[in-house]
Amino acid sequence: MPLFEVETDAHIIITWAADEAAATAVLRDAYPTDRVIRMTKRPRDSWVISKGALGLKSATADICSTARDCLSKAAGDKVHAIRLYMQATGADLDVARKVIESNMVMGW
């Protein structure tokens, strides 16, 4: 069974599901008012990150895409990715660290 990463306006949910419809059903059961922003298949175990708990509230920027782009440019070097994220967004060190760490996946 594939693992899906479902990003909403308030959470990132990683859960096992048979298909996208089943992953959406998991989201609707847990967070019925959240709006799906992105859905991707992932090969890892289930977990959830609350964007609000991380201090990541931005309607103008795609935080996850920016973080993944910085990780890619830094070839997975977390410290360099944090610096790149700070340059790209103007975020402070603590916020940049949280964003980069929450977007790191096995293999970086």
Per-residue pLDDT of the chain (108 residues; tens, 9 = 90+): 778 888 888 888 888 889 999 999 999 998 999 999 989 886 555 555 666 666 666 555 677 888 888 988 988 789 999 999 999 999 999 999 988 888 876 444
Residue 98, token pair as written in the block: 């949280």
Q: Supply the range of the domain harboring residue 23.
A: 3-52
Residue 74, token pair as written in the block: 């830094």
Query: Residue 76, Cβ neighbours under 10 Å: how many?
Result: 13
* Any domain includes 108: no
**Predicted local distance difference test score (pLDDT) of residue 107:** 42
Residues 15, 39, 80, 76, CA torsion sign: positive
Question: Do residues 43 and 15 share a domain?
Answer: yes
Question: Do residues 14 and 29 share a domain?
Answer: yes
Contact 2, 14 (CB under 8 A): no
* Any domain includes 39: yes
Residue where a domain terminates, one of 52, 69, 85: 52
Question: Do residues 8 and 48 share a domain?
Answer: yes
Residue 98 is inside which H or E element, if any?
helix 93-103
**Predicted local distance difference test score (pLDDT) of residue 106:** 41
